[in-house]
Amino acid sequence: MRFILAFLMAVLPAVAAAQIQIKPLPTLRQVSPYAAVGRVNVFGAGFCTGTLVSTRHVLTAAHCLFDDQGRRVSNLQLEFFAGLTGNRAKAYRRVIQSAVHPQYKFSSNPGVERIQYDMALLVLTRPIDTPAIPPFPLIGPSDVIDKVDVVSYARNRESTAGLQRRCNILDEPGAVMIFDCLADFGASGAPVIVNTTMGPAVLSVVSAKAQWRGQRVAIGTLARDRIWAVQGLLDEQGIPVFPWQ
């Protein structure tokens, strides 16, 4: 189950706040609003979480595409189950191509300087173009955003999505954000969601869990400003890529 651990220590201690609890989404009806979120299987190395951000592209964490020795896994080892619930999924696709941010360097104990590039795109063999699974758009950071949701698959709920609502953004050092959602093995690549008037949009991608000022937190890579470099790698391979908004 892919997940990189990062530990950030504040200079001054603080009292741990109450943690945002995870609400399971055990039925297809409950998971339907988040059907674009799914499990990314990595044969022989566990799984991560990913999000459909176009009909053919899945956004996830870059470290999910490496084994424990830091070797890039083959695209043949990757598959995506959109809206997975139990042994059923809203859609299933294999992966034909992938790209990680060109400045990402795999490490078993990364710091913020590496986490900020922990982003990858998977190209599916065929589009998922059913109206029941609309892709999530990307959104940039804003001063008015202070609460986010996270939908993920993780240890002990490998086939059940979990929803955490209204997590607090605690800090945004550089191109990452720290927020008080829970995170566990398998949640890497999960979308950090902002609910807009047009529906859910992805602000960030879960990269690591950490201890920060006396409490457990998650760390995410801001998505929209970093995705251009990943798109450029796919452009060079002649693979059409969604025109990110």
Contact 164, 21 (CB under 8 A): yes
The Cα 106–Cα 31 span in angstroms is: 32
Question: Which letter does DSSP use for residue 55 in this model?
Answer: T
Q: What is the sign, positive or negative, of the torsion defined by CA atoms of 73, 76, 225, 134?
A: negative
CA quadruple 209, 211, 214, 220: dihedral positive or negative?
negative
| Domain spans of the chain, in order of start | 4-236
Helices (H) and strands (E) in the chain, counts: 3, 14
Measured between alpha carbons, how far is 223 from 192 in angstroms, rounded to an integer?
Answer: 9
Model pTM score = 0.89
Hey, which bits of the chain come out as E strands? Answer: 4-5, 23-25, 37-42, 46-54, 57-60, 78-82, 91-100, 120-124, 147-154, 157-171, 176-179, 191-196, 199-212, 215-222
Question: Which residues does 74 contact at the CB level (< 8 Å), separation at least 6?
Answer: none
pLDDT tens for the chain, 245 residues long, are 454 444 443 333 333 445 668 999 999 899 999 999 999 999 877 999 999 999 999 999 999 999 888 899 999 999 999 999 999 999 999 999 999 999 999 877 767 777 899 999 999 999 999 999 999 999 988 877 889 999 999 999 999 999 999 999 998 887 899 999 988 888 999 999 999 988 999 999 999 888 888 888 999 999 988 888 888 888 777 666 555 44
Output the pLDDT for position 240.
61
Phi, psi torsion values for 194, nearest 5 degrees: -110, 130
* Ramachandran region, residue 184 (left: φ > 0; alpha: ψ -120 to 50; beta: rest): beta
Residue 10 is predicted with a pLDDT of 34
Spell out the CATH class of 4-236. mainly beta
Residue 227 phi, psi (nearest 5): -75, -20
Q: Where are the alpha helices (DSSP H) in the chain?
A: 28-31, 112-115, 227-236
Residues with Cβ within 8 Å of 78's Cβ and at least 6 positions away in sequence, in order, are 40, 41, 42, 43, 65, 94, 95, 98, 122
